Chain A
C-alpha cells in the first residue's frame, strides 16, 4: 500500500473546487481584459482625433470642404478628451457579441456652432472606432467607417461626442 500513490477525497474536492473557480475567474478576467484593451484603444483613437482637430490639419478632401464651408475649423485650438464612458447594451443577436456604446466627452476653448462641433466630434469617434479595429485586427468584419468596430467578444458603436 505504501508503494502506491494515493490522494484523499478531500484533496480531490479541493482541487475540483479550485479548478472550477479558476476557470470561472479566468473567463471573467479574459472578458474584462478585452473590454479594458478596447477602451484603451478607443482612448488612443480619440486622442489622435482630438490632435488632428487641435492642429487643424485634415485630409485634403476635408480640408477643401472646411476651407469653403467651415472656415472656423481652419484654426488650431485646444481640444481635450475629458473621459470615455461606455454603456453595455446587452447581447446583440445580429452580431452575436455583447454590444457596447462608447460615449466620449470632450472640451474645447473654441466657440463653435453645432455643425462645426459635429465635424470635430465625428473625427474623434471615427478615430476611436478605427483604433479598436486596428487593435483587434478586425478590418474584415467592419465597413469603411469602422462602424461598428469589433473585438473578439464585443461590438462597439459610438454616440455623438458630448462637449463640456
Chain B
C-alpha cells in the first residue's frame, strides 16, 4: 500500500473547486485589465485634448506675440490618434472614439491670415502656438 500513489476524495474535490474558482477569476481579471487599459487610454486622450485647449487659451489670453511650444506624444496608450483644432475646440479621435475640449472661440490658422482653417496636428510632432495680430488689429492663433 505504501508503494501505491493515492488521492483522497478531499484532495480531488479541493482541486476541482480550486480550478473552478481560478477559471472564473481569470475571466473576470482579464476583463478588468481590459477595462483598466481602456480607461487609461480615455484619460490620456482627454488630458491631451484638454492640455492643447488650455495652451491655446493661455496663448490667446497672453496677447500679441505670446507663444508656447507643445510636444505631442507618438501614441495614446498603445493606439494611434488624430487631433483636429478649429475655432470652437480641440477634437481628438482614438480607436474610433471621439472627444472634444472646448476653447475660447477664436480665429485659428496654420499659415498666414486671412483664412480660417481646421488644423490637423500629427502625433509625435512639436508645434508652436502663437498669438498674432494682423494689420487690422484682429487677433489670430497660429499653430505650426
Contact = CB atoms under 8 A, between A and B. Distances in A.
Contacts of B98: 57-60, 63
A75 B102 CA distance: 8
Nearest to B98: A63
Given A22-B13, A33-B20, A51-B39, A60 B46 contact: no
B69 to A, nearest CB: 25
A58 B24 CA distance: 30
Interface string B71-103: 000000000000000000000111011111010
B35 A55 contact: no
Interface string A38-64: 001100110110011001111110010
B45 interface: yes
Contacts of A34: 24
Q: Which of A48, A51, A57, A134 has the most CB of B within 10 A?
A: A57
Interface stretch (B26-34, B111-119, B120-128, B133-141): B26-34
**DSSP majority for the A interface?**
helix
A134 B28 CA distance: 10
Given A57-B45, A57-B92, A134 B31 contact: yes
Interface in B29-63: 31-32, 35, 38-39, 42-43, 45-46, 50
A29 B17 contact: yes
B27 A55 contact: no
Given A22-B13, A56-B99, 12 more contacts: A29-B17, A44-B35, A48-B35, A55-B42, A55-B46, A56-B100, A57-B94, A57-B97, A59-B98, A60-B98, A131-B35, A134-B31
Interface of B: 9, 13, 16-17, 20-21, 24, 27-28, 31-32, 35, 38-39, 42-43, 45-46, 50, 92-94, 96-100, 102
Interface of A: 18, 22, 26, 29-30, 33-34, 36-37, 40-41, 44-45, 47-48, 51-52, 55-60, 63, 67, 74-76, 131, 134-136
